[in-house]
């Protein structure tokens, strides 16, 4: 059954989910559904599918979600961004999601596409902030059949001048109807504890679901984090740098690292774990099993 994530979070914690991205070609697409078939056995609470920079994957994101919901009956979350789009084209995309039975949307401003340069720019007739997009999604969906998630940044959004402001802006997103927060990847769990505290001080109280990226390739990690603006702490460099040219050792170490990071985050109060599995079954499957065994989902009183 396709659920709203807010209902799942109201019923049980922690949730376990994974993130996919739309592949570039048909071969990648068939590999992707192969991965979904294997991961479906783990009974994820939901699967999310990203939206390419500037809306470049809008059709494939929706097509993938439709297929996962229909063929595997898995709850999906559609990432959706406002960058580089006018109000009319945003409205058309939202209607398409609504009509396709999408019940969960991760509303985002979006990363600027390469032609925009490093800094985001609002287009004429478009929107600027995520909370404006949330209003539009809610208005077009009407009624109740929608759960909205938003992005959170334990180590502060790259363009935000302070941690206090970052939490204040999160509070605005919650006031505009966000049900839960999925975070940017990070590797220092202490920053998550500080994030909980600073959000509560700003009155931003919502289920926080950290995004966890299993480290399988140190050099690719460096470029991935460079692109998404995530900070890699010294410990990660120290552990993974020296074994960068040993793939088997990196995967073994990365698996244990992700298990330790995830269980510690749940102990610190995370509402769930969202695994960035990068369209691969391994090592997410082993990490997932170990973490779920340590923290099986419990019904909420
Ligand atoms: C879990 C997760 C999934 C993601 N998935 C995708 C994806 O699929 N596709 C993609 O392109 N990108 C994705 N991103 C990246 C995301 O779009 C970028 O990080 C983007 O720069 C910020 O998006 P946002 O929704 O947090 O924007 P916003 O909340 O709008 O914030 C954008 C900037 O404006 C500032 N700000 C926010 N509110 C206000 C306000 N009220 N007044 C003044 N300033 C304000 C913030 O500090 C920030 O600097 C994802 C990020 C995360 C964490």
Give 181-209 as a DSSP string.
EEEPP-S-HHHHHHHHHHHHHTT----EE
Q: Has residue 228 got a pLDDT over 90?
A: no
Q: Which pLDDT does position 230 carry in this prediction?
A: 87
Residue carrying structure tokens 């996962």? 68
Three-class DSSP labels, 65-96: HHHHHHHHCCCEEEEEECCCCEHHHHHHHHHH
User: 249: which residues sit within 8 A by CB, 6+ positions away?
Assistant: 243
CB distance 182 to ligand 1 below 6 Å: yes
Give the span between the Cα atoms of 45 and 289, in whole angstroms: 14
| Residue 212: Cβ-neighbour burial (10 angstroms; 0-12, 13-18, 19+) | buried
pLDDT digits over 243-277, tens only?
999 999 999 999 999 999 999 999 999 999 999 99
Catalytic positions, written as ranges: 19
Residue 108 alpha carbon to ligand 1 centre in Å? 5
pLDDT digits over 86-116, tens only?
999 999 999 999 999 999 999 999 988 878 8
Q: State if pTM tops 0.75.
A: yes
Radius of gyration of the chain (CA): 18
Helices vs. strands in the chain: H and E counts, helices first: 11, 11
Residue nearest to atom 27 of ligand 1 (CA): 109
Residue nearest to atom 29 of ligand 1 (CA): 130
For a mutational test of ligand 1's pocket, the pick from 22, 127, 151, i.e. the residue with the most ligand atoms closer than 8 A to its C-beta, is 151
User: 212: which residues sit within 8 A by CB, 6+ positions away?
Assistant: 185, 258, 261, 262, 265, 273, 274, 275, 276, 287
For a mutational test of ligand 1's pocket, the pick from 157, 181, 184, 271, i.e. the residue with the most ligand atoms closer than 8 A to its C-beta, is 157
User: 40: which residues sit within 8 A by CB, 6+ positions away?
Assistant: 72, 74
For 77, the token pair is 């979350």
pLDDT digits over 3-30, tens only?
999 999 999 999 999 999 999 999 999 9
Residue carrying structure tokens 């966000």? 178
Residue 219 alpha carbon to ligand 1 centre in Å? 25
């Amino acid at each position: 059954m396709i659920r709203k994530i807010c209902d799942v979070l109201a019923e049980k914690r922690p949730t376990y989910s994974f993130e996919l991205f739309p592949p570039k070609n048909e071969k990648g697409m068939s590999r992707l559904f192969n991965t979904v078939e294997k991961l479906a056995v783990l009974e994820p609470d939901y699967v999310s599918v990203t939206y390419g920079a500037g809306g470049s994957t809008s059709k494939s994101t929706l097509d993938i979600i439709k297929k996962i919901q229909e063929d595997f009956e898995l709850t999906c979350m559609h990432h959706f961004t406002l960058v580089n789009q006018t109000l009319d084209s945003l409205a058309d995309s939202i209607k398409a999601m609504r009509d396709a039975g999408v019940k969960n949307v991760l509303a985002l401003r979006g990363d600027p596409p390469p032609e925009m340069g490093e800094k985001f720019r609002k287009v004429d007739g478009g929107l600027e902030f995520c909370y404006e997009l949330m209003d539009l999604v809610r208005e077009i969906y009407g009624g109740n059949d929608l759960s909205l998630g938003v992005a959170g940044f334990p180590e502060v959004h790259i363009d935000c001048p302070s941690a206090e402001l970052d939490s204040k802006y999160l509070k605005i997103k919650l006031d505009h109807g966000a049900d839960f927060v999925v975070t940017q990847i990070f590797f220092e769990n202490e920053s998550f504890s500080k994030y909980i505290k600073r959000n509560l001080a700003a009155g931003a109280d919502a289920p926080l679901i950290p995004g966890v990226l299993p480290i399988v390739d140190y050099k690719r990690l460096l470029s991935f984090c460079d692109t998404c603006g995530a900070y890699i702490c010294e410990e990660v460099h120290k552990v993974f740098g020296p074994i960068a040219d040993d793939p088997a050792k990196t995967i073994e170490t990365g698996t244990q690292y992700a298990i330790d990071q995830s269980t510690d985050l749940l102990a610190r109060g995370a509402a769930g774990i969202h695994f960035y599995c990068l369209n691969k079954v391994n090592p997410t499957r082993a990490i997932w099993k170990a973490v779920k065994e340590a923290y099986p989902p419990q019904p909420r009183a």
